[in-house]
Amino acid sequence: MPATDASLMPPPSRTMNFNAGPAALPLAVLEACRDELVDFGNTGMSIMEHSHRGAAYEAVHHDAIARLRSLMSIPDGTGTGGYDILFMQGGASQQFAQVAMNLLSPGASAGYIVSGVWGEKAVSEARAVASQSGATVHVACTTASSTPGAPSEASLNPGRWGGDAKYVRVPDAEEVALAPTDAYVHLTTNETIDGVQYATAPGAIFPSFGTVPVVGDMSSDIAWRPIDVRQFGLIYAGAQKNLGPSGVTVVIIRRDLVEAGRTDIPVIFQYRTASRNTSLYNTPPTFSIYLMRQVLAWIGNLGGLEAVEARNRAKASAIYRVIDAFPEFYRCPVAVDSRSMMNIVFRLPTPALEEAFVASSEAHGMVGLRGHRSVGGIRASLYNAVEPAWADALAQLMHDTATRHA
Amino acid sequence: MPATDASLMPPPSRTMNFNAGPAALPLAVLEACRDELVDFGNTGMSIMEHSHRGAAYEAVHHDAIARLRSLMSIPDGTGTGGYDILFMQGGASQQFAQVAMNLLSPGASAGYIVSGVWGEKAVSEARAVASQSGATVHVACTTASSTPGAPSEASLNPGRWGGDAKYVRVPDAEEVALAPTDAYVHLTTNETIDGVQYATAPGAIFPSFGTVPVVGDMSSDIAWRPIDVRQFGLIYAGAQKNLGPSGVTVVIIRRDLVEAGRTDIPVIFQYRTASRNTSLYNTPPTFSIYLMRQVLAWIGNLGGLEAVEARNRAKASAIYRVIDAFPEFYRCPVAVDSRSMMNIVFRLPTPALEEAFVASSEAHGMVGLRGHRSVGGIRASLYNAVEPAWADALAQLMHDTATRHA
């Protein structure tokens, strides 16, 4: 357990923010943004007032791309050996449709792996696209609790801990049934509502499926640690969890897939449009990109993704350690090797105790700990900008609460 | 001519911003944003860090909607008697496609009125949508210079003033040929590149086409003056000109059209999704909406749209007055009754003189006056937040320049 140590506490004016997204941003980034908000770089204008065709903004824009490429070691070759970094709008929810619009030609199919609520949504939107384009979308694997798989721990104690959770694990590659026509296989690397994440062990890799490109919704765990991007054909992520504010979506796409994308959909939805125009085809969300650039610089200053990984693991360990130390009081329904490092979901024995815990957390200067309304319970989101001291303070509160009820 | 008067000059640290968008924002809004950027409303968090499901952001969100409804007198009844206000992403460029995705069922058609470059793009994207959905998109009218219409003034002096401009006027309703199957007619209320605008005379109304709903791309002139919204079935506008920063798109849509929209397209693209979820279906661009709310409040403090109209007319008059006073030096190719109040385009006798003028303007603390790269010349964008003193300073510079060359 962390000691009660005043040095771990944030300055009293700062709220400990465990929101699931939009989420905490680095204080240093916010302060720097404030200081230049009215006058960016002595131009006599805010960054928001600069033209996206002007030198001041373009330098920010291209630097954001370069920093993301460097941090994530994104290959810059041609064809299958390189990836474009695109800044789009509409969040992951729009990418659910846009991926299928680009990559599903008539007669083609795609397989979806569903390990949580966001995976369900991705399938549903891709199906709407496929039905209009003469393509097919199928669920290649689901870990929903009605299918074979490990029983959730909560099912051992029905009536406590809020009953069964629907999704409690990620599947192995062998459980996934692709079709020969599949143009890609889609998975959600981290499920924010269910607290289920792929490849969390140190150095773990993602499931692979021969030459079929993997499309990953990485909205809630992009850049939480170094990964080999070449395991994916396409990665997309709303920025508002690990990279910045809401309003910008990052797409990292292998260059052969850009070129293979459909040409008969509206230009605005084609990845090649953003690719050929360096995401400056139309007016981008300039402020969101500016702030994301600042967050990327902050990650670099921390020491890059290796340092971020250590920081994130320490935060998650502090919470899971308390959960495991009090098995009669806290229960995380997720299989141990699928436990998310980003969104830790857990239950207390009764809804009343959960309500009391949320109230207590707020009294201690914490926000965002109520679980998603569709599943209840508690959820602590520990994205990159969440301070380790906040996780320690939460662990301490959990420890004290459990001890009081022992 | 405006007198050279120190009281008209902005503080020297402030650049006079004539950008075509993203554009100038009110200094008071930027300063207030700066002051609460790190700690919004004593919550210990930036507005960017608040959950879109939390009370602090939701109050901002709903207040932005309420302020826009009030400022623009947007009816709130049911069916054809009411309009929803939606906050979307992707800019007008995405609406080019999204309007057709929602409103064009198989077998239906839509007529497009083209009075500039943005109208061309709207047609092109709608055609891509229609070709996939078994619908038709046709140009119901174009004022491109190869069609009958008033000759551009520049054509009277070939070789000077950059030659013919392609678009120099808006059409009358009688020039528009709709088809019986047309589900809507689309027009661009202001063309930023061509400097061509509808309905600029005091109290002027827009062309109407019986019961066929008019869809208006109002990106660059929304809220420049009071209008009767009931002239439109749907209005869309990127915020980054008259309403705020980039990253949020306003859609004002008659409620019967929300309900009539297609249900077989991806949920994220259906207007009914944003309507039923008050634009909180997925994570909105929270900071852009927050800042737009501040701009709407600023407009209210100015005295509402009547006051804004007077302010905008004064700015435009200051510039057009100099153009008309020096017909041998300045030439605006646009027919007088189609001249834009938002984007004033004009030529000087030679490209070299235009370059010198841009350089001189920059030396005087002005930016954004270079015409769009596709047409050249000079363009002064005079959106809501452009200070009258800046327009006066530009008029003075134009006067002095012309006098020097007389």
Strands of B160-229, DSSP E? 182-188, 190-191, 196-197, 214-217
- pLDDT value at A343 more than 60: yes
Confidence at B373, pLDDT banded by 50, 70, 90? confident
Tell me the catalytic residues of A: 118, 217, 241
Q: Which residue of A has its CA nearest to B100?
A: A266
Q: Which DSSP state fits B186? A: E
Q: What is the mean pLDDT of residues B124-146?
A: 94
Q: Do A268 and B93 count as a contact with CB atoms less than 8 A apart?
A: yes
Chain B closest CA to A145's CA: distance in Å? 26
Residues of B in contact with A97 (CB under 8 A): 266, 268-269
Give φ, ψ of A197 to 5 degrees: -135, 145
The pLDDT tens digits for B12-25 are 589 999 999 999 99
Closest CA in chain A for residue B91: A283
B315 neighbors B329 (Cβ within 8 angstroms): no
Choice between B314 and A2, residue whose per-residue pLDDT is larger: B314
For residues B289 and B55, what is the distance between their CA atoms, to the nearest angstrom?
A: 15
Mean pLDDT confidence for B225-254: 98
Query: Are the beta carbons of B49 and A23 separated by less than 8 Å?
Result: yes
Two structure tokens written together for A56: 């001041």
DSSP 8-state symbol, B41? G
In sequence order, what are the beta bridge partners of A372? none
Residue B107: pLDDT over 90: yes
Contact A50, A286 (CB under 8 A): yes
pLDDT per position as a tens digit, B396-406: 999 999 999 97
**Identical fold between B47-300 and B304-404:** no
Q: What is the ipTM of this complex?
A: 0.95
Number of H helices, E strands in chain B: 10, 13
Residue B161 contacts A where some CB pair is shorter than 8 Å: no
CB contact under 8 A, B133 and A132: yes
pLDDT at B157 over 50: no
Mean pLDDT of A217-234: 98
pLDDT per residue over A109-162, tens digit each?
999 999 999 999 999 999 999 999 999 999 999 999 854 444 444 444 443 444
Mind spelling out the 3-state secondary structure of chain A? Answer: CCCCCHHHCCCCCCCEECCCCCCCCCHHHHHHHHHCCCCHHHCCCCHHHCCCCCHHHHHHHHHHHHHHHHHCCCCECCHHHEEEEEEECCHHHHHHHHHHHHHCCCCCEEEEEECCHHHHHHHHHHHHHHHHHCCEEEEEEECECCCCCCCCHHHHCCCCCCCCCCECCCCCHHHCCCCCCEEEEEEECEECCCCEECCCCCCCCCCCCCCCCEEEECCCCCCCCCCCHHHCCEEEEECCCCCCCCCCEEEEEEHHHHHHCCCCCCHHHCHHHHHHCCCCCCCCCHHHHHHHHHHHHHHHHHCHHHHHHHHHHHHHHHHHHHHHHCCCCCECCCCHHHECCCEEEEECCCHHHHHHHHHHHHHCCEECCECCCCCCCEEEECCCCCCHHHHHHHHHHHHHHHHHHC
Which chain A residues are closer than 8 Å to B90 by Cβ?
89-90, 94, 268
* Sequence-separated (6 or more) residues with CB below 8 Å from residue B55: none
**Positive or negative: CA dihedral A222, A223, A225, A228:** positive
The amino acid that residue A231 corresponds to is Q
B180-232 pLDDT per residue, tens:
999 999 999 999 999 999 999 999 999 999 999 999 999 999 999 999 999 99
Contact predicate A384/A71, CB 8 Å: no
- Å between A148 CA and nearest CA of chain B: 30
Q: Which of B51, B94, B246 lies closest to A286 in CB terms?
A: B246
Contacts A–B by Cβ distance under 8 A: 201
Rg of chain B on CA atoms, in Å: 22
- Is the CB of residue B130 less than 8 Å away from at least one CB of chain A? no
pLDDT score recorded for residue B165 = 86
**Quick one: pLDDT at residue A146?**
59
pTM score of the predicted model: 0.95
Mean pLDDT throughout B122-142? 97
Please list the helix, strand and coil fractions of chain B in percent, rounded to the nearest 5, in that order.
40, 15, 45
Any CB–CB contact under 8 A between B172 and chain A? Answer: no
Is B86 in contact with B253 (CB distance < 8 Å)? yes
Among residues B84, B118, B161, B224, the one annotated as catalytic is B118
Average pLDDT over residues A28-32: 98
Note whether A267 contacts B19, CB cutoff 8 Å.
Answer: no
CATH topology of domain A304-404: Aspartate Aminotransferase, domain 1 (3.90.1150)
C-alpha distances (whole Å) from A147 to each of A313, B138, B220 are 31, 51, 53
Using CB atoms, which residue from B23, B48, B131 is nearest to A264?
A: B131
- Least CB–CB distance from A37: residue in B23, B37, B54: B37
Q: Is the pLDDT reported for residue A391 higher than 60? A: yes
Among B123, B127, B119, smallest CA distance to B143 is for B119
Structure letter (DSSP) for residue B69: H
Q: What does the pLDDT look like over B49-87, one tens digit per residue?
A: 999 999 999 999 999 999 999 999 999 999 899 999 999
Q: Helix axis angle, B27-35 relative to B286-302, nearest 10°?
A: 130
Contacts of B13 (CB under 8 A, 6+ apart): A39, A44
Q: At residue A77, what are phi and psi to the nearest 5 degrees?
A: -80, -165
Structural tokens at position B219:
């990106």
B266 contacts on A by Cβ (under 8 Å) = 96-97, 125, 128-129
Q: Which two tokens stand for residue A227?
A: 């990964």
Dihedral angle sign, alpha carbons of residues A29, A31, A32, A34? positive
Which residues of A are less than 8 Å from B124 in CB distance? 267
Chain A, residues 349-388, CB within 8 A of chain B, namely 365, 367-368
Task: Say whether pLDDT at A313 is over 80.
Answer: yes
B154 at A interface, C-beta within 8 A: no
Length of chain B equals: 406
Domain B47-300 has CATH 3.40.50.300: no
Kindly state whether B37 is in contact with chain A, defined as any CB-CB distance less than 8 angstroms. yes
The reported pLDDT for the residue numbered B149 is 43
For chain A, domain boundaries: 47-300, 304-404
What is the pLDDT averaged over residues B133-140?
96
Q: Which of B14, B25, B46 to mutate to probe the A interface, most A CBs <10 Å?
A: B46
pLDDT of residue A145: 84
Q: Is the pLDDT of residue B2 over 70?
A: no
Q: How far A60 CA lies from chain B's nearest CA (Å)?
A: 15
Q: Please tell me the predicted confidence (pLDDT) of residue B160.
A: 41
CB contact under 8 A, A50 and B287: no
Task: Inform me whether the C-beta atom of residue A393 falls under 8 Å from chain B C-beta atoms.
Answer: no
Judge whether A278 is closer than 8 Å to chain B, CB to CB. no
Beta carbons within 10 angstroms of residue A357's beta carbon: 21
3-state secondary structure of B17: strand
- β-pairing verdict for A214-217 and A249-254: unpaired
A290-307: per-residue pLDDT in tens?
A: 999 999 999 999 999 999
pLDDT (average), residues B100-121: 97
Mean per-residue pLDDT over chain A, rounded: 93
Distance set, CA B30 to CA A294, A323, B46, B66 (Å): 19, 45, 15, 21
Q: Do B22 and A131 touch (CB under 8 A)?
A: no
Does A1 score more than 50 pLDDT? no
Rounded to the nearest integer, the mean pLDDT of chain B is 93
Q: Which two tokens stand for residue A295?
A: 């967050």
What pLDDT does A156 receive?
43
CA distance B271 to B94: 13
Least confident among B101-105, B163-167, B336-340:
B163-167
Chain A: closest CA distance from residue B76 (Å): 27
Return the amino acid letter for B322.
V
Segment among A2-11, A208-217, B158-167, B318-327 with least mean pLDDT = A2-11
- Tracing tokens 């009215």 back to the chain, one arrives at A38
User: B371: Cβ–Cβ under 8 A, 6 or more apart, which residues?
Assistant: B345, B354, B377, B378, B379
CA A316 to CA A334: how far, in whole Å? 14
- Best of B14, B283, B288 to disrupt the A interface by mutation (most A CBs within 10 Å)? B283
Which pLDDT score is estimated for A9?
Answer: 52
Q: Are the beta carbons of B286 and B48 closer than 8 angstroms?
A: yes
The rounded percent of chain B whose pLDDT value lies above 70 is: 93
Instruction: Choose among B15, B50, B285: nearest Cβ to A285.
Output: B285
Residue B31 has pLDDT above 70, yes or no: yes
Residue partners of A134: CB distance under 8 A and separation at least 6:
A106, A107
Q: Greater confidence, B179 or B162? A: B179
Residues 290-309 of chain A whose Cβ lies under 8 A from any Cβ of chain B: 291
User: Whole-angstrom Cα distance, residue B340 to residue B390?
Assistant: 18
Clarify whether B315 is annotated catalytic: no
B217 is catalytic: yes
Mean pLDDT of B313-331: 97
| The pair of three-digit structure tokens given for residue B251, joined into one six-digit string | 């859609």
Classify strands B249-254 and B83-88 as parallel, antiparallel or unpaired. Answer: antiparallel
pLDDT digits (tens, 9 = 90+) for A57-108: 999 999 999 999 999 999 999 989 999 999 999 999 999 999 999 999 999 9
Whether pLDDT at A184 is above 70: yes
* pLDDT interval class at A165 (50, 70, 90): confident
Among B42, B217, B268, the strongest candidate for a mutation testing the A interface, having the largest count of A CBs within 10 A, is B268
- Per-residue pLDDT, A406: 79
Tell me which chain B residues have a C-beta less than 8 angstroms from the C-beta of A23. 49
Report the SS3 class of residue B323.
helix
A34 touches chain B (CB under 8 A): yes
Instruction: Tell me what pLDDT residue A373 has.
Output: 87
pLDDT digits (tens, 9 = 90+) for A112-126: 999 999 999 999 999
> Which pLDDT value is given to residue B8?
53
pLDDT score recorded for residue A374: 87
For residue A255, what are the CA distances in angstroms to A98, A105, A205?
A: 16, 18, 22
A336 touches chain B (CB under 8 A): no
